[in-house]
C-alpha cells in the first residue's frame, strides 16, 4: 500500500507530463474500443442479413453443394414434407427451431414477348409465409430502415412474384411497375434482307396477338413467360405475373433474379413429375445453437438412412467470413499501432522521471533500498499511468458510443439495397472493454521495464553526486 501511495505522489509531481501520458493512453483506448464496437456491429449485421434470408442451416441432397448448382433437379430432396416433419418433431431440435421451410432454385429464360425480349434468369421458389417469418429474426436488435414489409409473393397466389430491378429493366417492365430512374430499352434497327422469302405466317399479327394477350386485363400485373427444362429434360413454360421489382444489392443477381411461389417453381422444374425441394432452410432461435443443431441433424439423417447433408450460412455465404477476416485484420493493425504509441509514450515519460529523480534514487539506495525495490517502484508508476489512462479511455469511449448511436447516421452495407443505422455495438462487448483495458495497462507496465531497469542499475555514488 505504501508503494502505491508513493507511486501516486510521484505521478502528481509532474502533473502536466503525467496528464499528457494518460491522455495518450486514453486516446488509444478510445480508438480501439470504438473501432472494435463498429467491427462487432458489422459482424452481427452480416449474420442477421444472412440468417433472415437463408436461415442458419440448409439441408441438401448429398452432392448438391459440389455439383447440384448446374442441375438442381438431379439433386433434389424427395418427400421433403416428411423430412421437415422429422426435423420439427425431434425432441432435441423442436425447441431450437424457428422455421424449417423448403426452397427450389432453378435456371431458365424469362421472356417478354410483347416487346420481343428475353433474359436468362436465376429463380427461387419459397413459401411466402415462412420467408416473412424468417425476416423477423433479429437476435441482436438491429434496426431496419427502408425495407418494405410486403415481399411480393403470397401463399394463396401461385402465379405472382418479384424480379430484380435489372431484370425488369431488360424485360421492359419499368413503366408497368412504375420504377423510377429506369430507362426504356432502345428500339433495335431492323434491316430488310434482299430476296427474303415471304413467311407463311403473319409475324406482325402474332406479335400483336402476344401484346394483346399480355394486356388483356389492364388491372393485372405485367406478365412474362418463364422457360426451363424439367427433370426429364423436356422444356416447360409457365406464365408469371410480376408484382414488384426489388433491388437485390448485387448487379449480377439484380439482373437475373426471379422470386416466385414454391408451387410455381416446382411446376416449372419438375413438370408433371414428383414435386420435390432443392433444399430445406432451417432458422434457429439463437446462433449459438447452430453447431449443436447441425450435429443433431447429421445424426438424425444417418439414423434414418437419409442421403442428406447440412451446411451452415458461413459456408453458403463466403463473403461473410471474408469480410469478418478483413475487419479483424484492420482491428489488429490499429491495436498494434496504438500499442506502439503507448509503449514509446510510457518509455519517454518514465525515462524523464528517472533523469529528474537521480539524486532521489541515490539517496534511497544509500538508505538501504535494494535494486529490486527501485525497479518495483517505477514499474508500479508505469502500471498506474496505464490504469488511469485505460480507465479514462473506457469511460469516454462508452460515452462517445452512446452519443454516436443517437446521432442518426445511416449507411447501405455491402450486399444490401436498403440503408441501416450505422451503430456501435455497446451490448455484450464487456470482453472487448476488459481486453483493451488490461492490454493497455500491461503494455504500460512492460514499457516501464526499460527505465526501471536503468534506475535500478545506477551506482549509489554517481547518483548522489548527479547535478
In whole angstroms, what is the distance from residue 260 CA to residue 118 CA? 18
Q: How many CB atoms lie within 10 A of CB 192?
A: 5
Does a structural domain hold residue 169? yes
The domain boundary, picked from 306, 341, 373, lies at 306
CB neighbour list of residue 140: distance below 8 Å, 6 or more residues apart: 44, 47, 48, 425, 427
The domain boundary, picked from 263, 279, 306, lies at 306
Question: In terms of domains, do 285 and 329 share one?
Answer: no
C-alpha cell at 91: 425432441
- The predicted pLDDT at position 142 comes to 77
- The predicted pLDDT at position 371 comes to 83
Question: In terms of domains, do 271 and 396 share one?
Answer: no
Question: In terms of domains, do 292 and 334 share one?
Answer: no
- The predicted pLDDT at position 189 comes to 61
Domain residue limits at 219: 63-306
In whole angstroms, what is the distance from residue 306 CA to residue 309 CA? 9
Task: List the end-to-end C-alpha distance of the chain, in Å, as a whole number.
Answer: 31
Question: In terms of domains, do 224 and 158 share one?
Answer: yes
Does a structural domain hold residue 315? no
The domain boundary, picked from 268, 283, 306, lies at 306
Does a structural domain hold residue 52? no
- The predicted pLDDT at position 190 comes to 55
- The predicted pLDDT at position 414 comes to 66
Cβ atoms of 379 and 449 within 8 Å: the answer is yes
Classify strands 410-411 and 420-421 as parallel, antiparallel or unpaired.
Answer: antiparallel
In whole angstroms, what is the distance from residue 281 CA to residue 393 CA? 44
Question: In terms of domains, do 77 and 212 share one?
Answer: yes
Please write the tens of the pLDDT for every residue from 405-448. 999 888 777 666 667 788 898 888 899 999 999 999 999 999 88
Per the structure, the count of domains in the chain is 2
- The predicted pLDDT at position 187 comes to 66
Give me the phi and psi of 160, to 5 degrees please: -105, 150
C-alpha cell at 89: 418433431
- The predicted pLDDT at position 381 comes to 87
Cβ atoms of 441 and 26 within 8 Å: the answer is no
Question: In terms of domains, do 280 and 169 share one?
Answer: yes
In whole angstroms, what is the distance from residue 301 CA to residue 314 CA? 21
- The predicted pLDDT at position 215 comes to 47
Q: In which residue ranges of the chain is pLDDT below 70?
A: 143-149, 184-219, 414-418, 463, 466-467
Amino acid at each position: 500500500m505504501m508503494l502505491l501511495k508513493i507511486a501516486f505522489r510521484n505521478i502528481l509531481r509532474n502533473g502536466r507530463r503525467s496528464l499528457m501520458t494518460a491522455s495518450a493512453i486514453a486516446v488509444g483506448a478510445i480508438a480501439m474500443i470504438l473501432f472494435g464496437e463498429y467491427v462487432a456491429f458489422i459482424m452481427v449485421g452480416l449474420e442477421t442479413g444472412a440468417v433472415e434470408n437463408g436461415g442458419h442451416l440448409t439441408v441438401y441432397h448429398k452432392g448438391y453443394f459440389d455439383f447440384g448448382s448446374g442441375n438442381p433437379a438431379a439433386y433434389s430432396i424427395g418427400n421433403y414434407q416428411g423430412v421437415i416433419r422429422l426435423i420439427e418433431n425431434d425432441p432435441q431440435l423442436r425447441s431450437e427451431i424457428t422455421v424449417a421451410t423448403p426452397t427450389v432454385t432453378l435456371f431458365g429464360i424469362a421472356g417478354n414477348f410483347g416487346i420481343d425480349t428475353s433474359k436468362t434468369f436465376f429463380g427461387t421458389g419459397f413459401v411466402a409465409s415462412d420467408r416473412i417469418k424468417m425476416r423477423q429474426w433479429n437476435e441482436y436488435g438491429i434496426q431496419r430502415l427502408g425495407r418494405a414489409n410486403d415481399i411480393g409473393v403470397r401463399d394463396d397466389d401461385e402465379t405472382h412474384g418479384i424480379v430484380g430491378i435489372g431484370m425488369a429493366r431488360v424485360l421492359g417492365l419499368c413503366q408497368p411497375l412504375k420504377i423510377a430512374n429506369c430507362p426504356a430499352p432502345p428500339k433495335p434497327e431492323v434491316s430488310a434482307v434482299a430476296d427474303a422469302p415471304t413467311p407463311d405466317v403473319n409475324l406482325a399479327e402474332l406479335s400483336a396477338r402476344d401484346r394483346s394477350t399480355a394486356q388483356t386485363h389492364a388491372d393485372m400485373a405485367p406478365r412474362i413467360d418463364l422457360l426451363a427444362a424439367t427433370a426429364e429434360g423436356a422444356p416447360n413454360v409457365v406464365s408469371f405475373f410480376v408484382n414488384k421489382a426489388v433491388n437485390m444489392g448485387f448487379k449480377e443477381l439484380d439482373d437475373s433474379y426471379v422470386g416466385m411461389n414454391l408451387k410455381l417453381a416446382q411446376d416449372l422444374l419438375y413438370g408433371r413429375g414428383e414435386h420435390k425441394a432443392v433444399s430445406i432452410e432451417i432458422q434457429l432461435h439463437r446462433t449459438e445453437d447452430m453447431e449443436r443443431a447441425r450435429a443433431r441433424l447429421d445424426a438424425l439423417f444417418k439414423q434414418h438412412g437419409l442421403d442428406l447433408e447440412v451446411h451452415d450460412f458461413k459456408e453458403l455465404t463466403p463473403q461473410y467470413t471474408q469480410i469478418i477476416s478483413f475487419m479483424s485484420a484492420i482491428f489488429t493493425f490499429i491495436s498494434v499501432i496504438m500499442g506502439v504509441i503507448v509503449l514509446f509514450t510510457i518509455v519517454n515519460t518514465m525515462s524523464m522521471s528517472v533523469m529528474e529523480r537521480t539524486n532521489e534514487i541515490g539517496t534511497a539506495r544509500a538508505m538501504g533500498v535494494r535494486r529490486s525495490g527501485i525497479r518495483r517502484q517505477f514499474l508500479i508508476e508505469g502500471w498506474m499511468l496505464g490504469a488511469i489512462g485505460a480507465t479514462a479511455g473506457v469511460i469516454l469511449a462508452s460515452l462517445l458510443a452512446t452519443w454516436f448511436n443517437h446521432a442518426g447516421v445511416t449507411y447501405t452495407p455491402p450486399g444490401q439495397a436498403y440503408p441501416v443505422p450505422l451503430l456501435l455495438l455497446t451490448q455484450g462487448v464487456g470482453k472487448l472493454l476488459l481486453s483493451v483495458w488490461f492490454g493497455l495497462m500491461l503494455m504500460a507496465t512492460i514499457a516501464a521495464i526499460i527505465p526501471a531497469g536503468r534506475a535500478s542499475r545506477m551506482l549509489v555514488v554517481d547518483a548522489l553526486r548527479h547535478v
